[in-house]
Amino acid sequence: MSDSPFPSDEGGTPSSFRPISFWRLAYKELRETLRDRRTLLTLFLMPLIVYPILSLLLQSFFLSGLPTTAAEDNEDPDRLGANEFAYVLEEQQTLNEEDLRKLNRAFVDYNAARERSGTNESNPGNLSAEDLATQKNLFEKHSFNWVDPEQEQDIQEMLANGSADVGVLVDNRRDADGKNTGLQFTLLYLDNDVRSLKALALLENILNYTNLSTYQTLLERVTGRRLIREPVSIKTEMIELKSNAAGSTGISFAAIIPLILTLMTITGAVYPAIDLTAGERERGTLESMIAAPIPRMRILLGKLVAIISVAMLTAIVNLLGMSITLWVFQLDTVFLGEQGLSVATAIRVLGLLILFAAFFSSVLLVITSFARSFKEGQAYLIPVVMVALAPSLMSLKPDLQLTGVWTVTPLVNIVLLARDVIDGSADWRNAIITVLSTAMYSLLALTLAARFFGTASVLYGQGQGIGNLFKRPHRQQKYASLSLGMLCLACLFPATFIWNGVLARTAVVETSGSEIADAAAQQSLLAMQLWLAAAGLVIVFLLIPWAITAFHRVRFRSGFGISKTSAVALIAGVMMGIGFGPLLLQVISWSSQALDFVGLSDEATSDLLVQRGEQYVERIKQAPIWMLLLSMAIVPAICEELFFRGLLFRSFRTHFSPWKTIFATAILFGSFHLISSSGLTISRFLPTTIMGVILGWVCYRSGSVIPGILLHALHNAITVCFAYYRDDLIELGRITAEQENVPPQVLVVGAICATAGVLLLRFFSKPPEMDESSSDVVFSG
Amino acid sequence: MIRVENLTKTFETDTTDFIAVDNLSFQVNPGEVYGLLGPNGAGKTTTMRMVLGLMQPTEGFAEVEGFRSSDSPDEVKRRIGFVSATAGIYQWLTVREMLGFFCEMYGLRGSEVEPRVDHVADLLDCRPFLDQRCANLSTGQRQRVNLARAIVHDPPTMLLDEPTLGLDVVASQVVFDYIRLAQELQKSIILCTHRLEQAERVCNRFGLLHQGKLVHEGSLQDLQNQTGQQNLVDMFLQMIKPTPAT
């Protein structure tokens, strides 16, 4: 009996070996997971049971649970409360043709009286007392209160506090010549309020009937005369309440759908995450997989894709289940507004959920990788889900806006962004920060998962479980590992954000502080701001990464790339700094112009930023130039280079090729510069990313951060000096006040210097070899 | 061929270092079945894991077909068929699906997969339950599927860690039949087992481990000469007997 249908040695030569793709791995994981009854239970049974029950509860809550009581309403006949609306609904049945004819008559008479009086004023006080009485009687009979258009705010308050369901403003409609062309009824209603929406529908019906009835009446009166215009036109306006979008309920219903979808995505991801890691380990299949010649990262990615797929499948099934249930129970307009859930919005929300699922699945993978059994995995995840639940509930607060720190708060940011996407009020700048931060957190979680998944310490339980994440290695490390670099990055992202917020606060103090009148006080405030900015850079880019890496025994000098380099590299750094300074200034100018051209920059915001920039430049001129150079050129150059081209560059190099590392760190460098104390500055992304590529290449060729620090500092110094001495240059006639572009002669000189520096580094400096093996992290056990 | 040289594994605990494998050296040639025997906790499984590259040795190295497991774990894994006592199977897949998946894991593609699955199924008598869900298999059938999973890529070396654990005599026989076949096919095999009488029949050479150390090594004849005992059971008992205090 032969045991080999193919080459009898080891099943193929090394060169012909074709490792399995992670898609095939994901397919197997998905096939296995979707055959599991427990997955199917979460996937289909939950939406079938949960949503109808939830809808029943919500429906009864909306129709009977509002705080305005019948007694209160009855005591105040001028108010249109919940029960009075019910009265209207009842009256609707008896609102016979005669009533409507009266209403119609009133409108016609109102029009006629207004035209007779020859006035275009909308004040019904111009009506005859009889007409007005007829009008008012009709409205009062049906519990509508006549109001003056100038009292619109009062109507809004009535809507807000639930004492009215719908507001009606009556105004004249005029043509281009200012001639009165009829009445315009503006109906004010509350979005997400079932009673307001029903009242709106009722009024629209009445007014539509009025129009039709008027046509008929006029045609009867004046046979053969053609009606040229509608007597009444209807316009509806949704009232957005600042503090309470859902009347007196105190929660934002628009946030409920993304919240439930997010929670369901979590629910969908939890079971496969435990089963495909701790479950497999418990069943003994994980060891067989790890024993195969497949990189652990690929196995992990296969599992991740399967978990995300199941999570998304759960989200889609839930979205469908929820949509059908809302439609059946007529709650769709309450949660989704009049426009409902369009396909485009659903796709956007699902896109956000994919991102969220990727993030949360990675987090789950990290945690479940440590569990020895399914039960242990569950025990680990329950607190995680509870922790995730708490901040997400905060997103139900209607006044919670997706701004500031919320844009970088995991889970809350996605729920708020999805809410804004659904109601069409999403701000793309905050959306970018949300997406970027979530993507970054996902990447971090994935690298952490890759660090521990399938390792001997986890596979055979020799490590100390989840504590390994925070365990100090026994040996000193030359460089930070990739996961450690990502950990630093993840800590820095919110830290940068918070620090920029602090700086923005100090700017607010300055601009709003009329009390800071004297020049000396302003100067000291400016100095404080500059020192604060410099201190922020030192803390964020130097102290935090240093603390993290020192804890993990990474040597400071090698880990941050502070190594000796050749004189040629230093000269090249100086030349490139002088050269690229003006060139990149020009790129910034082009970048802003390009954004304006494609319409990506909001004109108002752009103008505001320009205005702020100009004000800023004017202000900083009050500071001595040495202080500006120190705080805006030298300190940023040292701190940013030590982090991006020092720590992060070396950490990435342990896994990636030089060019991949250069581009990855450059994009991250550019992304960090998107956020400033002035907000999101898109125009900075391209030039700073280009700068990041240049600095990365310099670091790679020289093997040290020092030439890059020189380049960076000189570049910043030239930019600062250009702004500082701009007026002098204008006086000397070198540039004009309106000039946006860098003078051509300066660009030529810059190009020559930059090229010379590049050539020097390219042909006279050899990149040193990096000892990648020394980045291994060694844990006990 | 498998070569183990000064292989050592130390686990650090909160209080002390525990040496699981202590300076172990041996070699397994093609066509040879090496019985790595010892009581529970002797370091057999840890040795297997280090040979396979699942665990990094503290000192020393293991080589499989010229590749060091610490330096080229993927090359080593491709050349090893690993059967563990604790290995499980995918309950929601059929036997055919599971074997097909492992064929792909070891680099087989498309048209190569199906004939190979059929071949190993015939070899280990898995044909009758090839299309059944793994969850429905008996213990013996599961262990046969596990062995089939380990040989889908026709590896030149085999690491068999308690391959007959929990099996009755009939089911064990299928496993030992395969070992004999693999031996004929010039595969290098390390076998860890507590079935000492079976080990005596199939192994060419033995290494007796105790507390991480290789106490005796050689053929059955060599061990008989070294220990003065006639069978492995007696040798075992003698090896683990505490030394009287002097």
Taking the domains of chain B in order of start, what are their residue ranges?
2-87+160-240
The token pair at A688 is: 């700073």
- The answer to whether residues A583 and A657 belong to one domain is yes
Q: What is the pLDDT of residues A550-593, one digit of tens each?
A: 988 888 888 898 888 888 889 988 989 888 888 877 777 776 66
Q: Which of A36, A288, A294 sits opposite B92 (nearest CB)?
A: A36
**A228: pLDDT strictly greater than 90:** no
Q: Is residue A483 part of a domain?
A: no
Pick the residue with more confidence: A393 or B14?
A: A393
Average pLDDT, whole number, for chain B?
87
Residue A715 belongs to domain spanning? 495-775
Which stretch, A15-24, A297-306, A485-494, A581-590, has highest mean pLDDT? A297-306
Q: Which residue of B has its CA nearest to A461?
A: B11
- The answer to whether residues A180 and A317 belong to one domain is no
pLDDT of residue A649: 92
Q: Is residue A426 part of a domain?
A: yes
Q: What's the mean pLDDT in B136-141?
A: 88
Chain-chain contact of A293 with B93 (C-beta, under 8 angstroms): no
- Could you give the number of structural domains in chain A? 3
Residue A82, strand partner residues: none
Distance CA(A465)–CA(A470), nearest Å, equals: 10
Q: Is residue A224 part of a domain?
A: yes
Look at A145-154, A201-210, A699-708, B63-72 and tell me which has the smallest mean pLDDT: A145-154
CATH label, B2-87+160-240, candidates 1.10.357.10, 3.40.50.300, 3.40.30.10, 2.70.50.60: 3.40.50.300
The three-state DSSP-derived secondary structure of A664-688 is HHHHHHHHHCCEECCEECHHHHHHH
**A82: pLDDT strictly greater than 50:** no
Q: CB count, 10 Å around CB of B233?
A: 12
Chain A hits for B108, Cβ within 8 Å = 11
The three-state DSSP-derived secondary structure of B140-184 is HHHHHHHHHHHHCCCCCEEEEECCCCCCCHHHHHHHHHHHHHHHH
Is B115 touching A (CB cutoff 8 A)? yes
- pLDDT confidence of A46, banded at 50, 70, 90? confident
Chain-chain contact of B11 with A462 (C-beta, under 8 angstroms): yes
How much is the ipTM here? 0.89
Is A10 touching B (CB cutoff 8 A)? yes
Q: Is residue A580 part of a domain?
A: yes
Distance CA(A95)–CA(A79), nearest Å, equals: 20
- The answer to whether residues A286 and A426 belong to one domain is yes
Q: What is the pLDDT of residues A177-210, one digit of tens each?
A: 776 666 667 777 776 666 677 677 767 766 776 6
Residue whose pair of structure tokens reads 């046979």 in the numeric block: A223
pLDDT of residue A265: 80
Interface test with B, best of A15, A27, A285, A303 (most B CBs within 10 A): A285
- pLDDT confidence of A112, banded at 50, 70, 90? low
pLDDT of residue A500: 75
| Gyration radius of chain A over CA positions | 34
DSSP B40: T
Q: What's the mean pLDDT in B71-78?
A: 88
- The answer to whether residues A574 and A713 belong to one domain is yes
Distance CA(A637)–CA(A669), nearest Å, equals: 12
Residue type, A411: L
Look at A48-57, A266-275, B199-208 and tell me which has the smallest mean pLDDT: A48-57
Q: Which residues contact A638 (CB under 8 A, 6 or more apart)?
A: A542, A709, A713
**A315: pLDDT strictly greater than 60:** yes
Distance CA(B115)–CA(B138), nearest Å, equals: 25
- The answer to whether residues A195 and A232 belong to one domain is yes
Average pLDDT, whole number, for chain A?
71
Chain B hits for A459, Cβ within 8 Å = 54
DSSP A36: S
Tell me how many degrees the CA angle A691-A693-A695 measures, rounded to the nearest 5.
65
pLDDT of residue B156: 93
Residue type, A744: P
User: How many Cβ pairs closer than 8 A exist between chain A and B?
Assistant: 121
High-pLDDT (> 90) share of chain A, % = 5
Handedness of CA A589, A590, A596, A600 (dihedral sign): negative
Chain-chain contact of B77 with A35 (C-beta, under 8 angstroms): no
Q: Which residues contact B37 (CB under 8 A, 6 or more apart)?
A: B44, B192, B193, B196, B199, B206, B207, B208, B209, B232, B236
Look at A78-92, B19-33, B170-184 and tell me which has the smallest mean pLDDT: A78-92
Is A295 touching B (CB cutoff 8 A)? yes
Q: What's the mean pLDDT in A484-495?
A: 78
- The answer to whether residues A49 and A90 belong to one domain is no
- The answer to whether residues A391 and A458 belong to one domain is yes
Chain-chain contact of A292 with B102 (C-beta, under 8 angstroms): yes
- The answer to whether residues A323 and A414 belong to one domain is yes
The token pair at B171 is: 């089911």
Distance CA(A311)–CA(A362), nearest Å, equals: 12
Taking the CA of residue B77 and the nearest CA in chain A, the distance in Å comes to 5
- pLDDT confidence of A72, banded at 50, 70, 90? very low
pTM summary value:
0.60
Distance CA(A780)–CA(B11), nearest Å, equals: 7
**A399: pLDDT strictly greater than 70:** no
Q: Phi and psi (nearest 5°) for B83? A: -120, 120
**A12: pLDDT strictly greater than 50:** no
- pLDDT confidence of A643, banded at 50, 70, 90? very high
Look at A230-244, A365-379, A386-400 and tell me which has the smallest mean pLDDT: A230-244
- SS3 state of residue A591: helix
- The answer to whether residues A617 and A713 belong to one domain is yes
- The answer to whether residues A307 and A368 belong to one domain is yes
Residue B207, strand partner residues: B36, B217
Among A111, A106, A777, which Cα is nearest to A479's? A777
- The answer to whether residues A678 and A719 belong to one domain is yes
- SS3 state of residue A417: helix
Q: Is residue A418 part of a domain?
A: yes
Q: What is the pLDDT of residues A704-747, one digit of tens each?
A: 899 999 999 998 888 888 888 877 777 777 666 666 667 778 88
- The answer to whether residues A557 and A523 belong to one domain is yes
Q: Is residue A6 part of a domain?
A: no
High-pLDDT (> 70) share of chain A, % = 61
What's the length of chain B?
246
Is A467 touching B (CB cutoff 8 A)? no
Q: Is residue A480 part of a domain?
A: no
Distances (CA, A) of A88 to A83, A92, A203, A666, B211: 9, 6, 11, 65, 90
| Gyration radius of chain B over CA positions | 18
Last residue in a domain, options A239, A274, A300: A239
Is B135 touching A (CB cutoff 8 A)? no
Chain-chain contact of B116 with A293 (C-beta, under 8 angstroms): no
Q: Is residue A70 part of a domain?
A: no
Last residue in a domain, options A186, A209, A239: A239
Chain B hits for A780, Cβ within 8 Å = 11-12
Pick the residue with more confidence: A439 or B117?
A: B117
The token pair at B110 is: 């498309």
pLDDT of residue A69: 35
Last residue in a domain, options A218, A239, A260: A239
Q: What's the mean pLDDT in A260-276?
A: 83
